[in-house]
Structure 1
């Protein structure tokens, strides 16, 4: 009998062991916790797509984690991929009933604060947030994108997908200029530890936001996001739906989670959707690069 190809064995890459679903459930799924279920699958097209398809039958707090995504999606339906077990690829189901729908736009920003907070504790890396959904790390003095967030409406709730590059090396990066926790010299790249830290942080921030009735100021979410947002204080170009763009200094994140730009014409322009490019002073060159997670 011919032995199976070693490359197909779940332990073939000893530097990238699989996640322990049993240990993760023991740590996170318990009475009184936000997290009600946690499944780890070897491979999936998109965790957001699969979890959204079941959102109507699942309670709030369902978590779907994939060791590999073959059809990962980001904002504007951009596609990306990464080697199996090289990162954290997961989606969570949130059902913020009782919270005004116009405040649900804070959920991807809340997830960003949660990821940054959790990783700073567990990985020991300095992280920053690029509005609205990118996680930045510093590699060799350069800001690089190491993760992203995609929130989508599903049934009576929202599915929030999170992708984080953990152990990718330079030659594995999806595009030049992307980053990973390993390249940022994280003190830990143990994915079980990192996932627990991020989900616990997300539960804490989400709980505070819900208790405040979705008020980003009362829950201190707006303050925390502004403190960790690398976009504020910079000159940026916002590429808006419909092919329009606006350039100005990013001066604030308003009560609806929109980025406020002060333009050369003296107008304060809120931006609620679109791509934002960080510009170097006096140029129109992009500073942060990477794939959409």
Structure 2
């Protein structure tokens, strides 16, 4: 059980020290790099909401990055609430502008790109094998059970010609069992991470996002050409499973998840023998691969 933060000081909980914004800027912001501005705030409602509102008020440079030590109204997909104790995780959002050279249909790869970049960086830095649940959940093994430790939320503002994408990432790092919001949640700590120091974890994730984004843009958003499609499929825990896709409007479809197509859609082989691509929806894993 983590110590109580009775004093209100970020240094009173030695398990959860604050992030060092100046050190992060020195490490990540560089000429010709993706990251252009980095701000760390003690708390906010939602980093995604903050950046979206800032964009609607005026120009915001690509690579602007907002990090919160705590979110009080964090949002996941389908407006699900995301809450965690202060400094117990990584909660950040950033701005991307893919530009007119990349077809709008390929922008759907951006949340998957963020997932691949985050999962590979966490595995490398923490030693915890991290899998992807389509389209944007991060999974780890906790005591033999598949648990969600993070998620990705993407919001698009404007059209393809002048459009901006805000991507938010939330990761549980040092949550203890009695702090988990739901039984299906987990954390790097509970998964046996070699390190739960958030500073190197965050640096690794952001550098990985920058690397994958550059590859994707250089390939004009072609996920096959830049290796993103293959890497996502290799780390996707959804493929090979029987799943239920809960679609907008209360509809659902069941089938075996057989592929991720060129536009980032999950392809289901249904009982009727039809292969149906799904580009939006909530995926429920029904059975593990045989």
Shorter-chain-normalised TM-score: which range? Answer: over 0.9
Unaligned runs of 5+ in 1: 283-293
Which of 151, 155, 159 does residue 154 from structure 2 map onto? Answer: 151
Deviations 1:195-254 (Å, cap 9, x if unpaired)? 000000000000000000000100110000000000000000000001011000000000
Cα distance in structure 2, aligned partners of 1:43 and 1:129: 28
Equivalent residue in structure 2 for 1:79, among 54, 78, 81: 81
In structure 2, the partner of 1:278 is: 285
- Larger relative contact order (Cα-Cα within 8 Å, sequence gap ≥ 6): 1
In the alignment, the residues of structure 1 paired with residue 65 and residue 17 of structure 2 have an alpha-carbon distance, to the nearest angstrom, of: 20
Question: How many angstroms apart in 1 are the aligned matches of 2:202 and 2:119?
Answer: 12
Calculate the TM-score normalised by the size of structure 2: 0.94
The RMSD of aligned alpha carbons is: 1.2
Which residue is equivalent to 1:12? Answer: 12
- Other structure's SS at 2:248 match: coil
Alignment of 1:1-293 (within 5 A): 6-55=6-55, 56-97=58-99, 98-155=101-158, 156-280=163-287
Separation in structure 2 between the aligned mates of residue 92 and residue 231 of structure 1, nearest angstrom:
26
2:131–2:140 Cα contact (<8 Å) kept: yes
Whole-angstrom CA distance in 1 between matches of 2:218 and 2:275: 31
Unaligned runs of 5+ in 2: none
> Counterpart of 2:147 in 1: which secondary structure?
strand
- Which segment is superposed worse, 88-97 or 46-55? 46-55
Q: Deviations over 1:59-88 (max 9, x none)?
A: 100100000000000111111200000000
Q: TM-score, normalised by structure 1?
A: 0.93
Give the SS at the match of 1:7.
Answer: coil
- 2:59 & 2:23 partners in 1: Cα distance? 25
Structure 1 residue runs of 4+, over 3 Å off?
Answer: none
Distance (whole Å) between structure 1 residues aligned to residue 68 and residue 120 of structure 2: 22
